[in-house]
Protein backbone atom coordinates (compact mmCIF):
# COMPACT_ATOMS: atom_id res chain seq x y z
CA UNK A 1 0.00 0.00 0.00
CA UNK A 2 1.38 3.38 -0.96
CA UNK A 3 1.25 6.29 1.45
CA UNK A 4 -1.26 8.00 -0.83
CA UNK A 5 -3.52 4.95 -0.64
CA UNK A 6 -3.07 4.78 3.14
CA UNK A 7 -4.13 8.40 3.54
CA UNK A 8 -7.12 7.89 1.24
CA UNK A 9 -8.33 4.89 3.24
CA UNK A 10 -7.89 6.44 6.70
CA UNK A 11 -9.24 9.89 5.84
CA UNK A 12 -12.08 8.20 3.97
CA UNK A 13 -13.01 6.23 7.09
CA UNK A 14 -13.14 9.39 9.18
CA UNK A 15 -15.17 11.26 6.56
CA UNK A 16 -17.75 8.48 6.51
CA UNK A 17 -17.90 7.62 10.19
CA UNK A 18 -16.95 10.80 12.05
CA UNK A 19 -17.73 13.68 9.70
CA UNK A 20 -18.02 16.18 12.56
CA UNK A 21 -15.15 16.80 14.96
CA UNK A 22 -14.17 19.91 16.87
CA UNK A 23 -12.05 21.19 19.74
CA UNK A 24 -13.01 20.10 23.24
CA UNK A 25 -11.77 23.37 24.72
CA UNK A 26 -14.52 25.75 25.83
CA UNK A 27 -14.29 29.29 24.46
CA UNK A 28 -16.50 32.07 23.13
CA UNK A 29 -14.08 34.20 21.11
CA UNK A 30 -10.57 34.06 19.61
CA UNK A 31 -9.00 35.64 22.70
CA UNK A 32 -10.48 32.98 24.97
CA UNK A 33 -9.33 30.22 22.61
CA UNK A 34 -5.80 31.62 22.58
CA UNK A 35 -5.71 31.65 26.37
CA UNK A 36 -7.13 28.13 26.57
CA UNK A 37 -4.67 26.69 24.06
CA UNK A 38 -1.71 28.27 25.86
CA UNK A 39 -2.94 26.69 29.09
CA UNK A 40 -3.49 23.31 27.42
CA UNK A 41 0.19 22.72 26.70
CA UNK A 42 1.09 19.47 28.50
CA UNK A 43 -2.27 19.61 30.26
CA UNK A 44 -5.65 18.05 29.54
CA UNK A 45 -8.48 19.98 27.93
CA UNK A 46 -10.70 18.78 30.78
CA UNK A 47 -8.49 20.47 33.36
CA UNK A 48 -8.26 23.66 31.29
CA UNK A 49 -12.05 23.78 30.97
CA UNK A 50 -12.32 23.58 34.75
CA UNK A 51 -10.27 26.73 35.35
CA UNK A 52 -11.05 29.00 32.41
CA UNK A 53 -14.61 30.03 33.37
CA UNK A 54 -13.39 31.86 36.48
CA UNK A 55 -10.33 33.17 34.63
CA UNK A 56 -12.46 34.58 31.81
CA UNK A 57 -14.92 36.09 34.25
CA UNK A 58 -12.14 37.92 36.04
CA UNK A 59 -10.22 38.88 32.87
CA UNK A 60 -12.81 39.03 30.06
CA UNK A 61 -10.76 41.11 27.61
CA UNK A 62 -7.13 41.34 26.49
CA UNK A 63 -6.93 44.72 28.21
CA UNK A 64 -8.03 43.23 31.52
CA UNK A 65 -5.43 40.50 31.35
CA UNK A 66 -2.72 42.87 30.11
CA UNK A 67 -3.15 45.09 33.16
CA UNK A 68 -3.07 42.18 35.61
CA UNK A 69 -0.20 41.20 37.86
CA UNK A 70 1.28 37.75 38.29
CA UNK A 71 -0.21 37.49 41.78
CA UNK A 72 -3.66 38.24 40.35
CA UNK A 73 -3.48 35.65 37.57
CA UNK A 74 -1.64 32.82 39.33
CA UNK A 75 -4.50 31.70 41.64
CA UNK A 76 -6.69 31.03 38.61
CA UNK A 77 -4.14 28.76 36.89
CA UNK A 78 -2.34 27.16 39.84
CA UNK A 79 -3.92 23.75 39.15
CA UNK A 80 -2.63 23.79 35.56
CA UNK A 81 0.73 22.29 34.63
CA UNK A 82 3.59 24.82 34.81
CA UNK A 83 1.40 27.53 36.38
CA UNK A 84 4.20 30.01 37.05
CA UNK A 85 5.36 30.11 33.45
CA UNK A 86 1.86 30.08 32.04
CA UNK A 87 0.66 32.92 34.25
CA UNK A 88 3.57 35.03 33.03
CA UNK A 89 3.00 34.00 29.43
CA UNK A 90 -0.67 34.93 29.57
CA UNK A 91 0.06 38.41 30.87
CA UNK A 92 2.87 39.02 28.39
CA UNK A 93 0.77 37.64 25.53
CA UNK A 94 -2.12 39.95 26.42
CA UNK A 95 0.16 42.97 26.60
CA UNK A 96 1.56 42.25 23.14
CA UNK A 97 -1.91 41.54 21.81
CA UNK A 98 -3.05 44.97 23.00
CA UNK A 99 0.06 46.94 22.07
CA UNK A 100 0.99 45.31 18.75
CA UNK A 101 -2.25 43.92 17.36
CA UNK A 102 -4.97 46.26 18.63
CA UNK A 103 -6.41 43.51 20.84
CA UNK A 104 -7.28 41.43 17.77
CA UNK A 105 -5.89 37.90 17.63
CA UNK A 106 -3.87 37.82 14.39
CA UNK A 107 -4.45 35.28 11.64
CA UNK A 108 -0.82 35.18 10.50
CA UNK A 109 1.15 32.21 11.84
CA UNK A 110 4.37 34.19 12.26
CA UNK A 111 2.56 37.01 14.03
CA UNK A 112 0.95 34.54 16.41
CA UNK A 113 4.30 32.90 17.14
CA UNK A 114 5.78 36.24 18.18
CA UNK A 115 3.62 36.23 21.28
CA UNK A 116 4.88 34.71 24.55
CA UNK A 117 3.63 31.19 25.16
CA UNK A 118 2.65 30.67 21.53
CA UNK A 119 4.57 28.03 19.60
CA UNK A 120 3.79 26.62 16.17
CA UNK A 121 1.24 24.13 17.49
CA UNK A 122 -0.72 26.84 19.29
CA UNK A 123 -0.48 29.19 16.31
CA UNK A 124 -1.75 26.48 13.98
CA UNK A 125 -4.68 25.69 16.27
CA UNK A 126 -5.74 29.35 16.28
CA UNK A 127 -5.25 29.74 12.53
CA UNK A 128 -7.21 26.57 11.83
CA UNK A 129 -10.13 27.02 14.23
CA UNK A 130 -10.57 30.79 14.12
CA UNK A 131 -9.50 31.60 10.59
CA UNK A 132 -10.13 28.27 8.84
CA UNK A 133 -6.61 28.18 7.48
CA UNK A 134 -5.49 24.87 5.91
CA UNK A 135 -2.91 23.98 8.54
CA UNK A 136 -2.66 20.99 10.87
CA UNK A 137 -1.45 21.45 14.42
CA UNK A 138 0.69 18.56 15.61
CA UNK A 139 0.53 17.80 19.32
CA UNK A 140 1.62 14.61 21.03
CA UNK A 141 -1.60 12.82 20.02
CA UNK A 142 -1.32 13.71 16.34
CA UNK A 143 2.40 12.88 16.33
CA UNK A 144 1.76 9.44 17.85
CA UNK A 145 -1.23 8.54 15.67
CA UNK A 146 0.47 9.70 12.47
CA UNK A 147 3.41 7.39 13.17
CA UNK A 148 1.36 4.39 14.22
CA UNK A 149 -0.89 4.63 11.17
CA UNK A 150 2.03 5.11 8.81
CA UNK A 151 0.98 8.60 7.80
CA UNK A 152 4.39 10.04 8.62
CA UNK A 153 7.78 8.95 9.81
CA UNK A 154 8.90 12.52 10.51
CA UNK A 155 11.12 12.95 13.54
CA UNK A 156 9.74 16.37 14.51
CA UNK A 157 6.24 17.85 14.82
CA UNK A 158 7.02 20.18 11.93
CA UNK A 159 8.02 17.28 9.69
CA UNK A 160 4.84 15.40 10.60
CA UNK A 161 2.78 18.53 9.91
CA UNK A 162 4.26 18.84 6.43
CA UNK A 163 3.64 15.16 5.68
CA UNK A 164 0.01 15.44 6.75
CA UNK A 165 -0.58 18.65 4.83
CA UNK A 166 1.06 17.15 1.74
CA UNK A 167 -1.51 14.35 1.60
CA UNK A 168 -4.67 15.86 3.12
CA UNK A 169 -6.78 18.23 1.04
CA UNK A 170 -6.81 21.82 2.33
CA UNK A 171 -10.57 21.71 2.83
CA UNK A 172 -10.23 18.71 5.16
CA UNK A 173 -7.23 19.83 7.20
CA UNK A 174 -9.14 21.70 9.94
CA UNK A 175 -11.34 18.70 10.74
CA UNK A 176 -8.55 16.17 10.12
CA UNK A 177 -6.58 17.84 12.90
CA UNK A 178 -9.43 17.01 15.30
CA UNK A 179 -9.92 13.50 13.92
CA UNK A 180 -6.34 12.61 14.75
CA UNK A 181 -6.31 14.34 18.14
CA UNK A 182 -9.52 12.70 19.32
CA UNK A 183 -8.45 9.29 18.02
CA UNK A 184 -5.19 9.62 19.95
CA UNK A 185 -6.93 10.90 23.06
CA UNK A 186 -9.60 8.22 23.34
CA UNK A 187 -8.53 5.19 21.27
CA UNK A 188 -4.89 5.23 20.20
CA UNK A 189 -3.62 6.25 23.63
CA UNK A 190 0.06 6.43 24.49
CA UNK A 191 -0.23 3.67 27.06
CA UNK A 192 -2.48 0.67 26.61
CA UNK A 193 -4.05 1.72 23.30
CA UNK A 194 -7.56 0.35 22.81
CA UNK A 195 -6.68 -1.72 19.75
CA UNK A 196 -9.69 -4.01 20.11
CA UNK A 197 -11.96 -0.98 19.79
CA UNK A 198 -10.00 0.65 16.97
CA UNK A 199 -11.55 0.66 13.48
CA UNK A 200 -8.21 1.53 11.89
CA UNK A 201 -6.15 -1.55 12.75
CA UNK A 202 -6.08 -2.61 9.09
CA UNK A 203 -3.73 0.31 8.45
CA UNK A 204 -1.87 0.39 11.77
CA UNK A 205 1.82 -0.45 11.60
CA UNK A 206 2.02 -1.40 15.27
CA UNK A 207 -1.14 -3.50 15.62
CA UNK A 208 -0.42 -7.13 16.41
CA UNK A 209 -3.47 -9.40 16.40
CA UNK A 210 -3.63 -11.77 19.34
Active site (catalytic) residues: 121, 139
CB 91 within 8 A of CB 55: no
Asked if residues 60 and 91 have their Cβ atoms less than 8 Å apart, the reply is no
d(CA 6, CA 34): 33
Q: How far apart are CA 130 and CA 139, in angstroms?
A: 18
Phi, psi (degrees; rounded to nearest 5) at 190: -60, -45
Amino acid sequence: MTRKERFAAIIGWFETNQPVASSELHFQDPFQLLVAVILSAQCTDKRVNMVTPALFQRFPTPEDLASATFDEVYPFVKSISYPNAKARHLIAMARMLVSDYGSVVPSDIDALMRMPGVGRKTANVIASIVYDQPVIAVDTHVFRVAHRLGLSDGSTPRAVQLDLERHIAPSLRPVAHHWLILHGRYVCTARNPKCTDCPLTAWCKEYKPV
